[in-house]
Amino acid sequence: MKPFTAGAAPAAEARVGRDLARITDAVRAAAAEDPLLAVYLLGGYARGEGAVRRAADGSLRGFNDYDLLLVFETPPASPGVYGALSRRLARELEIDFVDLGTVTLREVAAAPPTLFWYELGEGHRALWVREGARVDLPRFGLEDLDPAEGSRLMVNRGMALLWAGLRLWPGETPGRGPVATDPDEIRFAAIASHKAVLAAGDAALLRARSYDISQETRRSTLRGRPELTSWAEPGFLDAYDRAVAFRRDPEDLDPGRAAILWRTALTHHRAGFRAAEEVRLAAPLPDWKEHARRVRSRARRRSSRPREAARALKRSIREGSWLPREERFVLGLPRYLYTAGPSEAAAARRWREEAMAMVRRWHP
């Protein structure tokens, strides 16, 4: 059987195996009245690239998150049950997140060519399938993916980096003032920082149609093709290497090193996001003001279509903004992540509250 972790150490494999069995049993129990067809494992553990960490008492724990997809024949009666279950399992298993995504067969059949579905098709593991059930997972090639997937990946990792900064500097603008000393906050910041660096390189590989689900293959490709990182800041490839190593064998950091790591990741993520957005918007971006102008102009062109105009009106009434949710995050990253917040105390508090509100919309 393919291992769950990069090192495939027996103790690590046993711990992850027990955790996944516990999650599967809990999901099946919660879905006793729902038409559950299958439980799939996604992400690093499905590809054999997961890791474990050692807790204070010396025992092993899963690292960062377990990603699972639950496939139902028809929508579950109470989908909120699975969100509550994910949080309870994370506490029980002492891991940051247990992500339980829910989809129906109809949604699987209509899956768009995104990075999520591409990776699912290329690297997943069935933890449980109902006897007699048939689930045809979509399979896409790299040529099927939208070039904008690089920007979406950068937004996703950038929002996590912003969240980490708000937690690493509690009550302050990220990068200013004393750093949190809570080991959980430091670990979260380290994970988010390394993932932000990885995303910058992975977005470049997506643009070049050279992406691979293997992290090591992606690292080797970036090292062997310098033209793919012509946009990068000095030291990017070394930072990417360190991020790959961290995913395999996570290390504990002190607050000072975590702060340095976060600032370094910010530099590389900013360069990678600009490169991704220049491709998506088909224009050079000399500054973030021009970026905002082009994002809004693109959104206005789309909203001029009758169906899009109706959707924009509904959004404006419901949410106070005519911009699609995705575009609001695209505009929010430069404002709250790359641009230093105000130094005046009252303005800084408002800025922080706005930034945290955006993070909550991204990860409710």
DSSP output for 36-102: EEEEEEEHHHHTT-B-EEE-TTS-EEE-SEEEEEEEESS--S-THHHHHHHHHHHHHHT-SEEEEEE
- DSSP assignment string, 94-137: T-SEEEEEEEEHHHHHT--S-HHHHHHHHS-EEEEE-TT-----
CA distance 103 to 283: 36
Sign of the dihedral defined by the CA atoms of residues 29, 33, 34, 38, in that order? positive
Tell me: do 81 and 162 sit in the same domain: no
CATH of the domain at 24: 3.30.460
Q: Is the pLDDT of residue 310 over 70?
A: no
pLDDT higher than threshold 90 for residue 363: no
Instruction: State the pLDDT at residue 342.
Output: 86
24 and 173 part of one domain: no
Q: How does DSSP classify residue 142?
A: G
Q: Are residues 95 and 27 in the same domain?
A: yes
Q: Are residues 277 and 248 in the same domain?
A: yes
d(C-alpha 337, C-alpha 351), whole Å: 11
Residues of the chain above pLDDT 70, percent: 94
90 and 177: one domain?
A: no
171-220 confidence digits (pLDDT tens): 888 888 899 999 999 999 999 999 999 999 999 999 999 999 999 999 99
Same domain, 174 and 287: yes
352 belongs to a structural domain: yes
Is 83 found in the same domain as 26?
A: yes
Of 97, 115, 143, the position where a domain reaches its end is: 143
pLDDT grade for 343, boundaries at 50, 70 and 90: confident
pLDDT single digits (tens) 258-274: 999 999 999 999 999 99
For 63, 88, 284, 304, the CA distances from 198, given in Å and listed in that order, are: 17, 29, 23, 36
Q: Are residues 182 and 35 in the same domain?
A: no
Q: pLDDT value at position 157?
A: 97
Residue reference for tokens 């976060």: 262
Q: Which residues of 97-114 are buried (b: 16+ CB within 10 A; e: fewer)?
A: ebebebbbbeebeebebb
* Mean pLDDT for the stretch of residues 38-49: 96
Q: Mean pLDDT across the chain, nearest whole number?
A: 92
Question: 288 lies in a domain?
Answer: yes
User: Alpha-carbon distance 35 to 54, whole Å?
Assistant: 37
Percent helix, percent strand, percent coil in the chain, to nearest 5? 60, 10, 30
Q: What is the pLDDT of residue 307?
A: 53
Q: Are residues 159 and 128 in the same domain?
A: no
Same domain (yes/no): 107, 177: no
- The pLDDT value given to residue 291: 96
What is residue 331's predicted lDDT score, i.e. its pLDDT?
95
Domain around 357: 147-362
From 111, 143, 175, the end of a domain falls on: 143
Answer yes or no: is 246 within a domain. Answer: yes
pLDDT per position as a tens digit, 103-123: 999 999 999 999 999 999 999
124 in any annotated domain: yes
* Residue 4 falls inside a structural domain: no
* Residue 223 in tokens: 């090292």
Give residue 322's pLDDT.
39
Residue 357 banded pLDDT, cuts 50, 70, 90: very high
138 has a pLDDT exceeding 70: yes
For the segment 207-229, what is each residue's pLDDT rounded down to a tens digit?
A: 999 999 999 999 999 999 999 99
pLDDT tens for 273-309 read 999 999 999 999 999 999 999 999 988 887 555 554 4
Q: Is the pLDDT of residue 16 over 70?
A: yes
pLDDT interval class at 318 (50, 70, 90): very low
Residue 303 has a pLDDT of 59
- Asked if residue 110 belongs to a domain, the reply is yes
* Each residue's pLDDT tens digit, 241-256: 999 999 999 988 999 9
Q: Tens digits of per-residue pLDDT, 54-86?
A: 988 999 999 999 999 999 999 999 989 999 999
Beta strands 125-129; 36-42: pairing state: antiparallel
Partners of 104 in the β-ladder: 72
In a domain, 93, yes or no: yes
Q: Indicate the residue among 127, 143, 159 that finishes a domain.
A: 143
* Confidence (pLDDT) at 299: 84
Residue 94: pLDDT band by 50, 70, 90 thresholds? very high
- Domain check: are 87 and 166 in the same one? no
Residue 323 has pLDDT above 70, yes or no: no
The yes-or-no verdict on residue 340 having pLDDT over 90 is: no
pLDDT band at 328; cut points 50, 70, 90:
very high
Taking 60 as the threshold, does the pLDDT of residue 20 lie above it?
yes
Shared domain for 180 and 323, answered yes or no, is yes
How far is the C-alpha of 298 from the C-alpha of 293, rounded, in Å? Answer: 9
Does 178 fall in a domain? Answer: yes
Domain count, the chain: 2
